[in-house]
Amino acid sequence: MNYQILDFKLEDHIGIITISRPTALNALNKRFFSEMDWLISSLKTREDVSALIITGEGKAFAAGADITEMADMSPKEGTWFALTGQKVFESLEALPFPVIAAINGFALGGGCELALACDIRIASDKAKLGQPEVNLGLLPGYGATQRLSRLIGLGNALNLLFTAEIIDANEALRIGLVQKVTTAEDLMPEALKMANTIKSKGRKAIRMVKIVTRKGLDMNLEDGCNLEAQKFGSLFATPEMKEGTKAFLEKRKPEWPK
Ligand code: CO8
């Protein structure tokens, strides 16, 4: 595909997607979703990717769905576009490796929902986050009514959704919407450091942690723990587990099998 909005590079097993439509504050338009869909499809079976970072160019991570495109939609089109975006964010969430949102600036509406579909969020101290859809007479359409409360609890989620309040990075950290705050200069180095930390662990174990933790959210505790036990057991068949335990016992760093 000829990418016009997304810039993608893969270096040393770490992918970086940069949303690059800065004149519209990286607003998420139809083109963004088709490029993202294509890129995710090409990444989901790659065994050589350890982690993926998503960030934005300029002063926004993404300032929401493209309001220009939305303004004249019919109810049917609105539903269709919400479902299309949700499908893309679901496939992002389902990528087998960890995905880190490096939130460089505005992450509003659909932009905040994109960050919510990532596994971990790091924000620069310039970031502003919120779900301002009710200002437009809308509600979120790309999953915030579901993912936000799962991440930060019902009270915090409804507070943001009802008031459309735009919060800064430190408030986002306080309520658990982001996991780390850095200076603007340190944002990408910190995201890369986190990705490299992940890369240094057992690759299959990391992928299993993601599957079990995410699936467990939609299960009762007993079923979730049972799934954990099954996947835990399955890792005993891997050369990685043999090497990880052997390295510990030999007091050295593991040399993960390729
Ligand atoms: N869509 C389209 N264009 C946008 C968007 C957007 N979401 N946000 C900013 N832009 C454009 C502006 O129109 C402007 O364009 P131009 O230069 O041509 O006039 C350019 O980006 C720069 O923006 P501003 O001049 O407004 O920059 P400021 O620094 O003054 O303000 C703000 C920055 C506060 C972020 C402001 O731009 C703003 O409020 N943006 C809209 C934020 C918003 O409401 N986001 C939520 C959108 S709704 C949504 O995401 C619903 C998701 C579900 C959709 C379901 C499918 C249909």
**CATH code for the domain in which residue 103 is found:** 3.90.226.10
If asked whether residues 38 and 125 sit together in one domain, one would say yes
d(CA 195, CA 51): 6
If asked whether residues 10 and 135 sit together in one domain, one would say yes
Q: Ligand 1 pocket test: pick from 19, 25, 61, 166 the residue with the most ligand atoms within 8 Å of its Cβ.
A: 25
**Catalytic hit among 35, 69, 90, 113:** 113
244: containing domain: 203-249
If asked whether residues 227 and 187 sit together in one domain, one would say no
**Catalytic hit among 35, 133, 190, 240:** 133
If asked whether residues 127 and 207 sit together in one domain, one would say no
| Whole-number pLDDT of residue 258 | 82
Any domain includes 243: yes
If asked whether residues 107 and 231 sit together in one domain, one would say no
d(CA 58, CA 106): 10
Here the CATH number for the domain that contains residue 218 is 1.10.12
Any domain includes 15: yes
Any domain includes 45: yes
If asked whether residues 119 and 244 sit together in one domain, one would say no
Complete edge-to-edge strand list for the sheet that includes strand 51-56: 6-11, 14-19, 51-56, 99-103, 120-124, 180-182
Any domain includes 258: no
Any domain includes 13: yes
Any domain includes 256: no
User: Is residue 28 within 8 Å of residue 110, measured between CB atoms?
Assistant: yes
If asked whether residues 67 and 128 sit together in one domain, one would say yes
**Ligand 1 centre distance from Cα of residue 102 (Å):** 19
Pairing of strands 99-103, 120-124: parallel
Question: Is the beta carbon of 16 within 6 A of some atom in ligand 1?
Answer: no
Task: Give the residue from 139, 127, 144, 215 showing the smallest Cα distance to 178.
Answer: 127
At residue 128, the 3 state secondary structure works out as strand
Instruction: Return averaged pLDDT per consecutive 10 residues of the chain, 258 residues in all.
Output: 96 98 98 98 96 98 97 96 98 98 98 98 98 98 98 98 98 98 98 98 97 97 98 97 98 94
If asked whether residues 152 and 36 sit together in one domain, one would say yes
Task: Give the residue from 68, 59, 60 showing the smallest Cα distance to 31.
Answer: 68
**Among candidate residues 181, 199, 217, the one where a domain is terminated:** 199
Extract the tokens encoding 172.
Answer: 């986002």
Any domain includes 237: yes
Write the CA distances from 55 to 50, 104, 236, 237, integer angstroms: 17, 7, 36, 36
If asked whether residues 149 and 243 sit together in one domain, one would say no
| Whole-number pLDDT of residue 203 | 96
If asked whether residues 166 and 230 sit together in one domain, one would say no
Across-strand partners of 8? 17
d(CA 107, CA 131): 9
If asked whether residues 133 and 44 sit together in one domain, one would say yes
Question: Is the beta carbon of 64 within 6 A of some atom in ligand 1?
Answer: yes
| Whole-number pLDDT of residue 65 | 98
If asked whether residues 231 and 160 sit together in one domain, one would say no
* Cβ neighbours, 10 Å, residue 218: 9
pTM for the model stands at 0.97
Q: Which residue shows structure tokens 């004149």? A: 23
Any domain includes 65: yes
Residue 111 CA, closest ligand 1 atom number: 50
- Count up the domains in the chain and report the number: 2
